[in-house]
Amino acid sequence: MTNGSYLRSVELLREKIRSDTEYPFCIPAIQKLELLHFHPKVTMIIGDNATGKSTLLEAIAVGIGFNPEGGSLNFNFASRSSHSDLYQYIRLVKGVKKPKNGFFFRAETFYNLATNIEELDKEEGAGPRIVDSYGGRSLHEQSHGEAFFAAFTNRFSGQGLYILDEPEAALSPLRQMAMLSTIHDLVCKQSQFIITTHSPIIMAYPDAKILQLTDKGFEEVGYEQTEHYTVMREFMNNREKMLKILLES
């Protein structure tokens, strides 16, 4: 079964920018952003902290219509308005087919999403419980990792566009491997993923397009070219030597 690309590309509308010294346009990778094409199945956006990957992902999600703090297209809440206005300066090119399902997952605001679900389910006449589509158990009554995985396995149903910001944040290595399997099952059901991650496990998904952000901009790299892979391999293969260097006073 072939995948339809629900989101094909993102382009920075540079002519609309008033000043490249203002946030977020002062971020080097954003300054150099022109046109990025997404893989019809899985695109990974990687880079060091503060390179702008989450800022870009947020802008893409908000541009599509997702709530800045995450959730499906039906969510509309804000515990703290902190998202940038980058979404107003990008052009998203969508595919011919529309996704039947979608979700914007943000590790750092997932607690706020869980709280909003509980508040909505307490309202009189609210209809079917929202939490039932997340496995039926309060997300606050589970560990972060359990709650994250409950969302992945219950809320994601295929033929969807899933935008994930550092989904590995509370997942053990074993759960990260299980997530790879979940991603693959959904890809086989005509889903598309755009993911920011620091996890060498997550970014190992076969045939994923890996876009690396640096101060020089964006470049497509192979899995074994990523700093995440090379650093982890070097550490595991030369643990005692690396520890000696790191812990020398």
Give the whole-angstrom CA distance, residue 180 versus residue 202: 6
Give the whole-angstrom CA distance, residue 238 versus residue 80: 44
Give the whole-angstrom CA distance, residue 232 versus residue 213: 19
pLDDT at residue 163, rounded to an integer = 97
Q: What residue type is 61 in one-letter code?
A: A
Q: What is the pLDDT along the chain (249 residues), one digit of tens a residue?
A: 445 589 999 999 999 998 888 899 999 889 889 899 999 999 999 998 888 899 999 999 999 999 988 888 887 766 556 568 999 999 999 999 999 999 999 988 888 888 989 988 888 666 788 899 999 999 999 998 899 999 899 999 889 999 999 999 989 999 999 999 999 999 999 999 999 999 999 999 998 999 999 888 899 999 999 999 999 999 999 999 999 999 985
Give the whole-angstrom CA distance, residue 101 versus residue 97: 12
Q: How are beta strands 101-106 and 35-37 bridged, if at all?
A: unpaired
pLDDT at residue 210, rounded to an integer = 97
Partner residues linked to 10 by β-bridges: 36, 92
H helices of the chain, where? 28-31, 53-64, 110-122, 144-155, 173-187, 227-237, 239-247
Half-sphere exposure of 236 (CA within 13 A, CB side): 7
Q: Hey, is 211 helix, strand or coil?
A: strand
Gyration radius (Cα) of the chain, Å: 19
